[in-house]
Amino acid sequence: MATVPILTDEAAGPEARAVFDDIRARRGTDYVNDFWRALANDPALLRATWERLGQVMGPGALDPLVKEMIYIAVSVTNGCSYCAHSHTAAAKARGMTPEMHGELMAVIAMAAQTNALATALQIDPDARFRV
Amino acid sequence: MATVPILTDEAAGPEARAVFDDIRARRGTDYVNDFWRALANDPALLRATWERLGQVMGPGALDPLVKEMIYIAVSVTNGCSYCAHSHTAAAKARGMTPEMHGELMAVIAMAAQTNALATALQIDPDARFRV
Amino acid sequence: MATVPILTDEAAGPEARAVFDDIRARRGTDYVNDFWRALANDPALLRATWERLGQVMGPGALDPLVKEMIYIAVSVTNGCSYCAHSHTAAAKARGMTPEMHGELMAVIAMAAQTNALATALQIDPDARFRV
Amino acid sequence: MATVPILTDEAAGPEARAVFDDIRARRGTDYVNDFWRALANDPALLRATWERLGQVMGPGALDPLVKEMIYIAVSVTNGCSYCAHSHTAAAKARGMTPEMHGELMAVIAMAAQTNALATALQIDPDARFRV
Amino acid sequence: MATVPILTDEAAGPEARAVFDDIRARRGTDYVNDFWRALANDPALLRATWERLGQVMGPGALDPLVKEMIYIAVSVTNGCSYCAHSHTAAAKARGMTPEMHGELMAVIAMAAQTNALATALQIDPDARFRV
Amino acid sequence: MATVPILTDEAAGPEARAVFDDIRARRGTDYVNDFWRALANDPALLRATWERLGQVMGPGALDPLVKEMIYIAVSVTNGCSYCAHSHTAAAKARGMTPEMHGELMAVIAMAAQTNALATALQIDPDARFRV
């Protein structure tokens, strides 16, 4: 139950369908997930989001799997249900093992805990953390 | 300006000082940062937090630097100023280069953006994300 | 599946029913949505919330549709699923077009992205932003 | 006290300086605020962020001032101090009056309040909110 | 450095000053803290907020000190620096001991941790939690 | 639909089953809720979380019911659906009356509202809040 229609290929206009085709080509699958089909209601937003994702998530100084785990960490902290599902699936597809998943969970939980404590106690950053 | 006193070694009781000593020994530095000095007002909370951190952040299936970057991602999303400073410093100490830092920023920003979109559009997770 | 019963008119007491009647009268519809039926478990909270909403969301220096879009922006950022649904419906009822909806999404996503970057980089506000 | 250096024009490389020049040209001012000077540590991130901002915040179906107020609503809910300052200043520069500012505050506070209630009570969206 | 002026008694209009007087009378102190002086820029918002606070925070089924600790828990989780300071001071004034403060911190940190885990793992609520 | 399997007693290994047995013994019920069955995919994380919960939530300077209400306040603010359900059920089991629940809701909503205002207005903490 989304706040916009989830557009099929037929319902999407040519501009959105061109992005769907690019998603299929770059991912090597015929499946286009519903996030993109929802964004297709605004083809310019769809294109800008998809293109930026491609620039950000590819190989670079960080490994793509590491990037997916960072993505999960942000998504969980923002409470995004869809994103927790889609990026956990993506991380598993990129090789995240159950052991890695368990450690990711432990780090996220640890950070949530000390974030709360540091904010509750309103501790000023130590001078030695300065750049 | 914290909501509790930042305890010096002298002001901390023996139970807290023992944790300070363990922090020094495991980190190989004489410096104990203010997060721990604030927690020292409740020695049991100090000990539990420090011990759990040691269990979680050491080497395992994930590299310690990867864990620090995940920690940053959570801390930033929770808006924890102290934690953003302390864990960025820790990640740099563990070898995070400016290139890695830049990519970490880009992934965090990308996730924040698509988290907002997926939540705004209230998209249900695709059936194929099911375990 | 709520944490309190969703009260029908019959189950609600006279104090809550009086608020339901006011909701019906001011909205010109017989339908009372489940948010109010859940709040009806505490009639004083129901009344205070409904009355304040009426004071805040009416015409003033800002247009009611603009207020609804601001409400969506907050609700999405807080990750409130119910509120994203109810206020998107309300904004559409007040005339939000698909083009306006698309731009609202783009601004929310943009802000989420730069919020994350500014927090991650812990940038102090420029002196010239001072009042 | 940022986690990266705030780069002067001299310290920034040519790629970042070109973006600074574009900021100056499009804003009609010589002042480049510290958000951009911090992003300049990663020129590609700087450019991508600045270009997307220009696409999103210009006139369209929504008025630029309305967009700034939506931006404030997101920034406040995310707890971004820098962004609250910079976008409140931007909104005032675009004509936000004290009356409009007061109403913006009231809507943000109202939404925060009902978001908390709807989440606490875990109310399912009404069937009639479906698209 | 606020986004609005912090109004002195002289700068505040008669409507805001009347609320200041009520704050002084009900609190039994001449001091009016800056939150109210900032809200005074919109006297109607000032009055509505102060009056609602008085209705909510007084004695009832819950003890006023318990309410202050709940207030701290929400404020910390929302990352509100001002509120963490003001409500920790208020809780201490109402009798929160260091032991109670320590346990409050531990509960907040515990909840933050399991919140993150439950969200990360996207666990559906058990059927037996249904009302 | 979780991101990990919800493990039955049979599917869980001996280390996780030992924690399940401890949950049963300490709660005096045969029922083990799905949060623990999801964590059982990482027995070390399961054990650490369960043991810490036992240390934190028992009687002390704060009453266990007060702790449950604080837990709800954090969970709601973090937008954790599972946690809102499970801890509201736990609080009711510990004696939270509808009147107490209503006041808890009102305090959470009040705090959310003033948190948003204080953050929006970026008010610095008053000097007298200093420790």
The answer to whether the CB of E69 falls within 8 A of the CB of E91 is: yes
B60-131 to CATH, choices 1.10.3720.10, 3.30.460.90, 3.40.50.970, 1.20.1290.10 = 1.20.1290.10
Q: Do C117 and B109 touch (CB under 8 A)?
A: yes
pLDDT of residue E119: 98
* DSSP, residue by residue, A74-123: HHHHTT-HHHHHHHHHHHHHTT--HHHHHHHHHHHHHHHHHHHHHHHHTP
Domain parsing of chain A, residue ranges? 1-57, 60-131
Q: Do C78 and D111 touch (CB under 8 A)?
A: yes
Calpha distance F64→A37 (Å, rounded): 47
- pLDDT digit string, tens, across residues B25-63: 999 999 999 999 999 999 999 999 999 999 999 999 999
Question: What does R_g of chain E's alpha carbons equal in angstroms?
Answer: 18
* DSSP, residue by residue, B61-125: SS-HHHHHHHHHHHHHHTT-HHHHHHHHHHHHHTT--HHHHHHHHHHHHHHHHHHHHHHHHTPPP
pLDDT of residue C1: 84
* DSSP, residue by residue, C53-69: HHHHHSSSSS-HHHHHH
How far off is chain D from A25, nearest CA to CA, in Å? Answer: 24
Touching check for C89 and chain D: CB below 8 Å? yes
Average pLDDT over chain C reads 97
Q: Which amino acid is present at C121? A: L
The answer to whether the CB of C119 falls within 8 A of the CB of B84 is: yes
* pLDDT above 80 (res A114): yes
Q: Same CATH fold, E59-131 and E1-57?
A: yes
- Number of D:F CB contacts under 8 A? 60
How confident is residue A130, by pLDDT bands cut at 50, 70 and 90?
confident
How far off is chain F from A110, nearest CA to CA, in Å? Answer: 11
* DSSP, residue by residue, D44-94: HHHHHHHHHHHHHHSSSSS-HHHHHHHHHHHHHHTT-HHHHHHHHHHHHHT
Q: Do D85 and E4 touch (CB under 8 A)?
A: no
Angle, nearest 10°, between helix axes F98-121 and E81-93?
Answer: 130
Q: Do C131 and E52 touch (CB under 8 A)?
A: no
CATH number of E59-131: 1.20.1290.10
* pLDDT above 90 (res B130): no
- pLDDT digit string, tens, across residues C64-121: 999 999 999 999 999 999 999 999 999 999 999 999 999 999 999 999 999 999 999 9
Q: Do C109 and B114 touch (CB under 8 A)?
A: yes
- pLDDT digit string, tens, across residues F13-54: 999 999 999 999 999 999 999 999 999 999 999 999 999 999
- pLDDT digit string, tens, across residues D88-105: 999 999 999 999 999 999
pLDDT of residue E130: 80
Calpha distance F115→B95 (Å, rounded): 37
* pLDDT above 80 (res D112): yes
* DSSP, residue by residue, E39-79: HTTSHHHHHHHHHHHHHHHSSSSS-HHHHHHHHHHHHHHTT
E neighbour chains, 3+ CB pairs within 8 Å: A, B, C, D, F
The answer to whether the CB of A2 falls within 8 A of the CB of A8 is: no
Q: Do A112 and E112 touch (CB under 8 A)?
A: yes
Calpha distance A111→E112 (Å, rounded): 9
Q: Do B98 and D41 touch (CB under 8 A)?
A: yes
- pLDDT digit string, tens, across residues F79-107: 999 999 999 999 999 999 999 999 999 99
Calpha distance B85→A128 (Å, rounded): 10
pTM beyond cutoff 0.90: yes
pLDDT of residue B1: 84
Q: Which superfamily is assigned to C1-57 in CATH?
A: AhpD-like (1.20.1290.10)
Average pLDDT over residues A97-105: 98
- The tokens for F98 are 């509808």
* pLDDT above 80 (res D55): yes
How confident is residue B118, by pLDDT bands cut at 50, 70 and 90?
very high
pLDDT of residue E52: 98
Name which of F88, F106, F116 is nearest C3 (Cβ-Cβ).
Answer: F88
pLDDT of residue D1: 84
What would you measure as the largest C-alpha separation in chain C, in angstroms? Answer: 59
Calpha distance D50→D32 (Å, rounded): 12
Neighbours of C60 (CB within 10 A): 16
Calpha distance E86→D93 (Å, rounded): 32
Residue matched to tokens 């948003």: F116
D86 contact residues in C (CB cutoff 8 A): 125-126, 129
In chain F, % of residues over pLDDT 90? 98
Touching check for F70 and chain D: CB below 8 Å? no
Touching check for C75 and chain F: CB below 8 Å? no
Average pLDDT over residues A48-74: 97
Task: From first to last of the 131 residues of chain E, give the pLDDT tens digit.
Answer: 899 999 999 999 999 999 999 999 999 999 999 999 999 999 999 999 999 999 999 999 999 999 999 999 999 999 999 999 999 999 999 999 999 999 999 999 999 999 999 999 999 999 999 87
How confident is residue F130, by pLDDT bands cut at 50, 70 and 90?
confident
Q: Do D69 and C66 touch (CB under 8 A)?
A: yes
Touching check for E52 and chain C: CB below 8 Å? yes
Average pLDDT over chain A reads 97
Average pLDDT over residues A57-83: 97
- The tokens for D29 are 């001012």
Chain-centre distance for alpha carbon B69: 9
pLDDT of residue A1: 84
Touching check for E125 and chain C: CB below 8 Å? yes
- Number of A:B CB contacts under 8 A? 217
- The tokens for F96 are 């939270």
C89 contact residues in A (CB cutoff 8 A): 3
- Number of A:D CB contacts under 8 A? 21
Touching check for D111 and chain E: CB below 8 Å? no
B neighbour chains, 3+ CB pairs within 8 Å: A, C, D, E, F
Nearest CA in chain E to C3: E131
A114 burial class (0-12, 13-18, 19+ CB within 10 angstroms)?
A: buried
- pLDDT digit string, tens, across residues B61-105: 999 999 999 999 999 999 999 999 999 999 999 999 999 999 999
